[in-house]
Chains A and B, each alone.
Chain A
Amino acid sequence: MSSVSSVIRASGALLVRGGRVVDPSQGIDDEVDVLIGDDGRVERLSGSIQVGEGVEVLDAAGLVVCPGLLDLHVHLREPGQEYKETIESGSRAAAAGGFTTVACMANTVPVNDCRSVTEHIVRAAQRCGLARVLPVGAISKGLRGEELAEMGDLVSAGVVAFSDDGRPVEHAELMRRALLYARHFGLPVVQHAQDMTVTGDGAMHEGPSSTRLGVPGVPRLAEDLMVARDLLLAEETGGRYHVQHLSSGRSVELIREAKARGVAVTCEVTPHHLLLTDRDVEESGLDPNFKMNPPLRESADRDALLAGLLDGTIDFIASDHAPHHVDEKLLDFVASPFGIVGLETTVSLLLDRLVHAGKIELGEMIRLLTSAPAKAFGLELGSLRPGAPGDVTLLDLEREVTVDPARFQSKSRNTPFAGWRLRGAPVVTVLAGRPIRVEPRPER
Chain B
Amino acid sequence: MAKSGWQRKDLLGIAELERTEIEAVLATAASFHEVATRPIKKVPTLRGKTVLNLFFEPSTRTRSSFEIAEKRMSADAINFSTAGSSLSKGESLLDTTRNLQAMSPDVLVIRHAHPRVPHQLAARLDTSVVNAGDGAHEHPTQALLDAFTILQHREQLDGLRVAILGDIEHSRVVRSNVLLLRKMGASVVIGGPYTMMPRSAEALGVDVAYSIDEALEGADVVMMLRVQTERQSRMSIPSADEYFALFGLDRARLRRANEGALVLHPGPINRGVEIASDVADGRASLILEQVSSGVAVRMAVLYLLAGGAS
Contacts and interface: CB of A to CB of B under 8 A. Distances in A.
Interface of A: 206-217, 219, 285-286, 327, 330-335
Of the four ranges (under 10, 10 to 19, 20 to 34, 35 or more), the interface on chain B belongs to: 20 to 34
B88 A331 contact: yes
Given A214-B115, A214-B172, A286-B116, A332 B203 contact: no
A267 B113 CA distance: 36
A209 B136 CA distance: 13
19 contacts: A207-B199, A207-B200, A207-B203, A210-B200, A211-B198, A211-B204, A213-B116, A214-B134, A215-B115, A219-B199, A285-B120, A286-B115, A327-B92, A330-B94, A332-B112, A332-B117, A333-B114, A333-B116, A335-B88
Nearest to A328: B92
Nearest to B112: A332
A214 B200 contact: no
A247 to B, nearest CB: 16
Main secondary structure of the interface of A (DSSP, over half): loop
Contacts of A335: 85, 87-88, 114
B80 to A, nearest CB: 17
B200 A285 contact: no
Given A212-B175, A214-B135, A331 B199 contact: no
Contacts of B172: 214
Contacts of B95: 330
Contacts of B203: 207-209, 211-212
A208 B135 contact: no
By Cβ-Cβ distance, the 7 closest A-B pairs, closest first, are A214-B136, A208-B203, A330-B92, A214-B137, A334-B114, A211-B198, A208-B200
Q: Count chain B CB atoms within 10 A of each CB in A210, A216, A330, A333 and give the residue with the most.
A: A330
Contacts of B119: 285-286
Q: Count chain B CB atoms within 10 A of each CB in A209, A213, A215, A333 and give the residue with the most.
A: A213
Contacts of A333: 114-116
A207 B198 CA distance: 8
Interface in B121-173: 134-138, 172
A283 to B, nearest CB: 12
B93 interface: yes
B201 interface: yes
A330 B87 CA distance: 10
A332 B87 contact: yes
Interface in B214-237: none
A211 B135 contact: no
Nearest to B172: A214
Interface string B88-116: 10001111000000000000000011111
Nearest to A287: B120
A327 B89 CA distance: 12
A330 B93 contact: yes
B116 A211 contact: no
Nearest to B199: A206
Contacts of A285: 116, 119-120
Contacts of B85: 335
B162 to A, nearest CB: 19
B100 to A, nearest CB: 15
Nearest to A330: B92
Contacts of A208: 200, 202-203
Contacts of B93: 330-332
A213 B203 CA distance: 10
A50 to B, nearest CB: 60
A286 B93 CA distance: 13
A282 B114 CA distance: 14
Contact of A211 (B94, B117, B138, B199): B199
B204 A212 contact: yes
A334 B115 contact: yes
A333 B137 CA distance: 13
